[in-house]
Amino acid sequence: MIKMFHVFQNLFEYQEKSMIDHWIVHINEKNDRQKYSSNKISTKKYRWYSFLPKGLFEQFRRVANFYFAFHAALSLTPITPVNPSTTIIPLVFVIGISMAKEAVEDFRRGKLDKKVNNDFVLLWKQNEGFEIRRWKDIKVGDIVKVNRDDFFPADLLFLSSSDSDGLCYVETMNLDGETNLKLRRCLEETRNLADSPTFRDFNAVVECELPNPSIYTFVGRLLWQDRILNLSPTQVLLRGSKLRNTSHVYGAVLFTGQDTKIMKNSTDPPSKRSTMERRLDKVIIFQLLLLIILSLVSSCAFSINLGKNFKDYIYLRPDDTHGKNSIASAQFDKDNVYVAGVLQFFTCLVLYGYFVPISLYVSMEIVKTVQAIFLNMDVEMYYEENDKPASARTSNLNEELGEVSIILSDKTGTLTRNEMEFFKCSIAGVSYGTGVTEVEKFVLEKTATELSSNEIECSHPKGYNLRDNRLENLRWQEDQHKDVVQRFLEILALCHTIVVEFDSNEDNVKYVGESPDEASFVVAAKMLGFFLYKRSASSMFIRFYQSTGSYYEYEYEVLNTIDFSSARKRMSVIVRDPGGQILLLCKGADNVIFERLSSEVEEWRYMTLEHLKEYGEAGLRTLALAYKKLDEESYLEWEKRWIRAKQDIINSDEQSQSLEELAEEIERNLILVGATAIEDKLQAGVPQAIQNLASAGIKIWVLTGDKMETAINIGYACRILQNNMRKHIIRLEDNGFLQAEALKEKKNLNEICTILVSEQIQAGKVALGGQKEETSNAVIIDGKALGFVLSDENLKKMFLTLSLQCDSVICCRVSPKQKALVTELVRKDGNKICLSIGDGANDVGMIQKANIGVGISGVEGQQATMAADFSMAQFRFLERLLLVHGAWCYTRISFLFWTWIHLVAIWGEILIWLIFLVSTGQLPIKLSGQLQRLFVSIMAPTPSFYIIALMGTTLALLPSFAFISFFRNFYPEDYQIVQEIERKDGSCSFQKSVSMFGGKNSFDLGLELTQPNILTIPPSDAKYGISSRKFHAPENSNSEIYPSTSLDSKDLTDFQQLHSTHNNSFAKTRRDNSWNGVSKVIINKDSSVSNGISSHA
């Protein structure tokens, strides 16, 4: 007791000294030492007392609204020539609509907040047990009970659960967007706290870091029963997460309300404005300048005329210079023309004020909202398999889609399915696996090579597609390297964070991991005889099957886990095997693992490197596996320092640095076992979508963490790279670089890297400048080289200049931070409108940095879509999003103010005014007043009235008519071309029609005879928006080709195969007008770009 008293005494003294730096929580006691936030949250933007001032401030931040308010204020003065209501009512309407929209959205947020705050939870009360309370009543230090499928009401310290091992599974989709269940473990010392008596006597203190937004880190310790227990993120249950697959858990409240991590992360996304809006601001400013100039000229002319010709203006009555009309009278005072000119200037501002349209922004908002609705309702972007439609999360950037010039894309889960299959492996220098990847199939198709019978796809378990007789049916146990194979399977089955789920039958297990490749590793180990059938908080249980059919059950004690991170690019577990030997099992990126191998053991190193290169060329994702035996004494000494580093209550960044140094220390002198190769297949329609986007003039950049060989081959399979492309490769593999890196000569290393990268970029620029023929180019750069490029301003400019001149760019081995930096480089320094697309949390940075962010709602969760401006289920829908919706939105916004509605309004207003004059003039004089028979008696008999009305309408419409006519004839939009063809009812000169599509005077679209007397337009020309039709030429005509009324299936051609050979065997393009022998024309039926609009705006 005395010892415990000293522990708490020291803690309280420490708290008094550093309360600002630490968070102290007294569990099951009143926490009056610090002021904590209430658990009642509010995400509302306004309060009842702040709505009006704050809402008006938001509205008048727009320059246009501020001008309109100034204009309305002037209309209230005596100098105004118009009725004040004509300026005030439109302004109030416009601002009222915008503020009403804000109020409705804020009201909805408030309703949601109220619903959340009034949810129920079981709260522990001394001497009363667990009682039902509302979330908003929870306080720091309270103990709560959360049942299955309920959300956690606050950030909790995980005390115990219904699971005997103290485990629970949580779903963090609302927090980080990931759909995979996460495993959480309580402390071994608290897992028996499961009933009322135990909580009655439970009093402890938690000392941890201050509230912060990092959802993946937590630093703290629990002081209880004279012990100091280290806490980690696995003992924390965050608000916003949901309890799954566990009956109930008990937790102590650490952070409430605005202090919880989910609320710390609930910041508004970066504000994005479209290029069109920024242009509109410049137009508004230009209009204001013109308005000022026009008013200034008018006021000067008025002052001059007032002084010279005052006798002609006697009817203006300038004699009344006193009273309420003194200002108006001073405006016509001939004795003070300067004051009169100034007053007339403000009068002109009001009179000409409609030169700046007050409804401009409202009109755009309405149009954009309707466009977003059309996009959300597009069934051609609906993914039926997952029941996920495309969604416009904002309507501010619709027209920006039509101006995209560069797409920056992630690879895994974006271009590929993110469904990992264990495909090949290298063990002890021997490669296993005979299957053919999609990339290899693409290469075989290009060379017209047929697949052998053993290379044809066959059925296989999910996550496992390794076919090799040497390993199957446990034949590996007869191999001379069976001990190495067993170690390989041991690493696959143990080095992970997989959650094992099973029903009453332990053989029916399901592996749930934080990444799909981890699950595929465990499945592969199971298929090869190393079956992970159970996992507890401190152990993993393996069934080792023998070729005889029997099996042994082994228990591996898990001592430590060194987690994977994007910076480390590796993961390790330290286990004690059934024989008592301590093993460090490690897996990671091959370049990271090979740097940490023991120099004394070179066995299999070079053969494994060759296999890794082969796997990369086949488009496979690779990892290297290694291990290390640890002696008891050195491990215990290292573990003490590891525990001490975790117990130090410092900020998470400093603690991570200390832990990383300790991990680096123990993850050295590893022994290589082998490598794995995982296939992640391409999504359906990706190659065709990329090809059509490239045909529309959009450049594709791929930012991936894969090695260069893998990225290049994926590039070929996706058609980002073509055979005739000239590739400019920038990589750091020079001997000088490797030597400097090996010697850790940092200064020399930086100098060498800068020189090497600069020379390679300069060589690429020289090669581009020396090209005599028009050739496609691509830049391929690795992560190390890119790191030096992004850290040097001169290299940045050189790299950007080279890349913008190329058609495709592939960045390999890039980190999430580098993705964001590359995107920012292209958008700001390159001055390009760029779109970023990704599917995971590591893509959020580049999605937010781009002009437009698109999230793929795939396997890695919803975090990318939550940060994005648009979301969709498949990459191929991006083609329609840009080439159809982007083109439509851009065109419609561009012509928003010169549509037929506005044209009709010009003469319609005149007609309405005339009708008003005629009808009002027929009313009795008491009602019509001065308008009595005004039109009939004065205006109608005057010929000049009709001349002026006609000339005014004509002159108002003439600029628009001339503009539309000029561009329709010389630079027609694609939809206008298609409409022109359709108006001919299918009877037209095919030569003329095709020429119109390219705006060209001759055939140069790459048309070729695919069969005798048959002409096929390949998919590459589908971008011109040609509808699916088959044309037959009359027997005696070679120039006029007419559409047939039927379409026979036998006439359809394999367009994909045609296009793959279009640039090779069909390079002899028809460019003349000779059509002898052509009897019919087939136009690509299966093009995904159709229905009129397809070309990029």
Q: List residues with catalytic annotation.
A: 410
Q: How many residues does the chain have?
A: 1097
Rounded-to-integer distance, Cα 584 and Cα 575, Å: 7
Print the SS3 string covering 303-345. Answer: HHHHHHCHHHHHHHCCCCCCHHHHHHHHCCCCCCHHHHHHHHH
Chain centroid offset of residue 737 CA:
35
Rounded-to-integer distance, Cα 665 and Cα 659, Å: 10
Tell me which residue of 497, 507, 581 sits closest to 543, measured CA to CA. Answer: 507
Tell me which residue of 218, 165, 231, 154 sits closest to 194, measured CA to CA. Answer: 165
Beta-bridged to residue 1042, according to DSSP, are: 1032
Q: Which residue has the tokens 């994977």?
A: 564
**CA distances from residue 903 to 331, 962, 973 in whole angstroms, order as listed:** 37, 13, 20
CB–CB of 97/362 below 8 Å?
A: yes
CB–CB of 1006/1021 below 8 Å?
A: yes
User: Please, is 1027 exposed, middle or buried when counting C-beta atoms within 10 Å of its C-beta (0-12, 13-18, 19+)?
Assistant: middle
**CA distances from residue 916 to 86, 426, 682, 935, 945 in whole angstroms, order as listed:** 18, 89, 66, 10, 16
Please enumerate, as own/partner, the contacts of 650-653 that have beta carbons within 8 Å and a separation of 24 or more: 650/219, 651/209, 651/219, 652/209, 652/212, 652/214, 652/217, 652/218, 652/219
The neighbour count for residue 824, using CB atoms within 10 Å, is 18
What are 791's two structure tokens?
A: 């850290």
**Which amino acid belongs to residue 989?**
S
Which helix (H) or strand (E) element contains residue 751? helix 746-769
Rounded to 5°, the CA angle 385-386-388 comes to: 115
Q: Please, what's the largest Cα pairwise distance for the chain?
A: 123
Which helix (H) or strand (E) element contains residue 228? strand 227-231
Rounded-to-integer distance, Cα 1038 and Cα 1017, Å: 18
CB–CB of 729/780 below 8 Å?
A: yes
What are 249's two structure tokens?
A: 């858990």
- Beta strand 834-838 with 570-576: parallel, antiparallel or unpaired? unpaired
CB–CB of 764/779 below 8 Å?
A: yes
What are 339's two structure tokens?
A: 């004051």
